[in-house]
Structure 1
Amino acid sequence: MAEQRDNHVVEIPVDIEPQKQSLFADAALGAIQHHPLTEISKSPGHLLLLKLWQREEDLHGHRIGAIEARLETIRRGAFQLCCLYFAFHGISLTLLFTSSVNQSEDRRACKNWWVPSCLSLLTSLVLVCAVQIKICGYWKVSRHLQRERADGRALTRSIQELRMKGASFDLSKEPQTSKRMKSSSVEIKWRPLRWCSQNLVTICLLCFTGMIFPACKFIPCG
């Protein structure tokens, strides 16, 4: 009979967890070293550019907030002038109607109808001009706000690009504002409509003034 030999296999336990942790730490360290922000921190030029753009981005935010507050002030002022306009005509028409009811037989108020008419017309034109000045200022500031927002968006995109590219970012590159290209024919076609939409309040006030002027004669002479 052949001799039977017992083969004993001895397993030596090996702890591979520290090895995995070491490999993971090495990979994380390599990723951090090659991260764009790490490259920027090691490059004085890119780091300075990032700080300057971040500061400029904060300034853009403050300017946009100030412009929005100015727009709100102009809008409130125009609304108050419109309220004053209608309050004046409401009071003047009420007084004119009261005087026409209490007038004597000689109808003296009818003979002097041009006095309240001219006074109403002059006051209306002054208030309408004041409203128009507010509206022009509003749209001027609104265009300024749009430019500031466009510049802010372009600056934000440049900062994001710098953070993504790291040291490979071109330092000579500047933020470019996006401009919408429009043909001259479209501008000419839509310019009157845009002007009417921007000055709709003034147009309505002028139409109302045109109706008030003959009413100042019709009320005392009617």
Structure 2
Amino acid sequence: MADAAALVAVPPQAQPQQRHPLSQIAASGTHRLLLKQWLKEEDLLARRVALREARLDGARKEIAFLYCAFFAFHAASVLLLFLSASVAPLTPSPSSACRRSWIPCLVSLLASLAMLWALRYKADTEAVLERVLAREQEDAALLGRCVAELKRKGLEFDLLKEVDALRRAKALRVEAKAGTDGPRRWPARDLPVFALFGAACGVLVLTRFLLCN
């Protein structure tokens, strides 16, 4: 019996199967805590990005409204002046109306300056929101890649190496943006403001012409 038992082939021990990376993370307190923290930060960044996008859309709508208000105000004022000049009785000397022309000119100038200041302020707000939104989107993308790597590698995820790589990526991004900053120039968003200021000056000249001729 002993010889027969010795002749029986002993089956090789089954090799232990490698656990899933998520199971490895669940068994490791450090990796599990890091994953929870990164998931919370990822959710927070997603909410902040959505909030920034909503504020940016609101700022752009306000800018569009100010443009429409500017053109509507000057179109209405010029139309009223033209109608009043056309239906007014003909007088040999329009000096009285010409002397009072400073009143509509002053009103038009103050209204134009107020709307141009509001446009410039909203344009600056839009630029700041765009920069903040771009930075937070890049942070969310970097954090998402780290979370994906942690879920894929499990315990093979080197905490010190990967976190240091994340910090280096952020530092390189800041250096790249600083390197692209050239000499200060007039931003392109100021060109519409200058164009509207020229249009406002043209309206002043037209107002003076309608009232004095």
Q: Could you say which TM-score interval applies, normalised by the shorter chain?
A: 0.7 to 0.9
CA RMSD of superposed structures (Å): 2.3
Q: Do structure 1's residue 30 and structure 2's residue 17 form an aligned pair? A: yes
Matched, 1:204 2:204: no
Deviation at 1:112? 2.2
Partner of 1:218: 209
CA distance in 2 between counterparts of 1:183 and 1:152 reads 21
Computing the radius of gyration from Cα coordinates, the structure with the larger value is 1
What residue number does 1:18 align with? Answer: none
The one-letter amino acid paired with 2:210 is: I
Query: Are the structure 2 counterparts of residues 78 and 182 from structure 1 closer, same or farther at C-alpha, using a change threshold of 3 Å?
Result: closer
Q: Which has the higher contact order (CA 8 A, sep 6+)?
A: 2
Give TM-score, length-normalised by structure 1.
0.77
- Does structure 1 residue 72 correspond to structure 2 residue 57? yes
Whole-angstrom distance in 2 between the partners of 1:96 and 1:48: 72
**Aligned counterparts of 2:77 and 2:89: Cα–Cα separation in 1:** 16
Question: Is the 8 Å Cα contact of residues 60 and 152 (structure 1) preserved in structure 2?
Answer: yes
How many pairs does the alignment contain? 191
User: 1:155 aligned to 122, 143, 149, which one?
Assistant: 143
Q: Equivalents in 1 of 2:75, 2:83: separation in Å?
A: 12
Q: What SS is found at the alignment partner of 2:176?
A: coil
Runs of 4+ in 1 over 4 A off after TM superposition: none
Moved more, 128-137 or 208-217: 208-217
Given the alignment, which residue of 22, 26, 29 partners 1:44? 29
Deviation at 1:213, TM superposition (A): 1.7
Instruction: State the distance in 2 between where 1:162 and 1:80 align.
Output: 47
**Which stretches in structure 1 are left out of the alignment for 5+ residues?**
1-25
CA deviation map 1:142-169 (0-9, x unaligned) = 1110111011011011112212332132
Task: Show the counterpart of 1:138.
Answer: 126
Show the counterpart of 2:116: 128
Q: CA deviation at 1:115?
A: 1.9
Partner of 1:166: 154
- Identity over aligned residues, as a percent? 34
Structure 2 gaps, min length 5: 1-13
> Do the aligned partners of residues 182 and 83 (structure 1) sit closer, same or farther apart at CA in structure 2, a change above 3 Å counting?
closer
Q: 2:142 & 2:178 partners in 1: Cα distance?
A: 23
Q: How far 1:117 moved relative to its partner? A: 1.4
